[in-house]
Amino acid sequence: MNKQHALASVFIMAAMGMGVYPAHGQLAQDTTLMVKISGLEGAEGQVCLNLFDSSAGFPSNRDEALQTQCVEAAVAPEEPGETVETTETEETTEDLPLMVAFENLPLGSYGVSVFHDANNDGEFNRNFVGMPAEGFGFSRNPNALTGPPKFRDTVVLVAGEVTMIEIMLNYF
């Protein structure tokens, strides 16, 4: 076997090995998206989140959402504005944000919609003229005064072990 042929064989075997053992940056890794929800007005009802990986169904079609979660809005205390004793300070209900985790996500781009289901009916309620009657928000906190934002305006890149975002609820 000549020297060139041996060298070519080594390069071919090395190239084949790269397909079997991907580089560190190419390893598949699940991640967690932590959502901090701020601006909650009142501790009644629940807060519902929808996680989307495409514009299909965004922002409110739960059937099209990748994941959906509802958590109790009550963090403590019973009445908004009351104080709750913590180890270091006193805080009001409005000062205590909710934290919600979407776990085991593949690395990628996602959009999150949130609403405060204050009456606990599982629906995003509107008033008689179609304006939101409950608090709402979106990842990247886009301006949503004239209607829901486009999916592309809410997309966040989820990479690494944990990605943290904050969504500020809006009320009319």
pLDDT in tens, 89-133: 444 445 568 999 999 999 999 999 999 999 999 999 999 998 999
**pLDDT value at residue 4:** 56
Who has greater pLDDT, 9 or 134?
134
* Residue 6 located in a structural domain: no
Q: How far is CA 38 from CA 51, 97, 167, in A?
A: 17, 5, 6
Mean pLDDT of 148-164: 97
In the chain, the number of structural domains is: 1
Domain span including residue 71: 27-168
* Residue 154 located in a structural domain: yes
* Residue 80 located in a structural domain: yes
* Residue 22 located in a structural domain: no
* Residue 116 located in a structural domain: yes
Q: Angle at the Cα of 102 (from 55 to 172), degrees rounded to 5?
A: 65
Mean pLDDT of 5-17: 46
* Residue 47 located in a structural domain: yes
Question: 29 falls in which pLDDT band (50, 70, 90)?
Answer: confident
* Residue 76 located in a structural domain: yes
pTM: 0.74
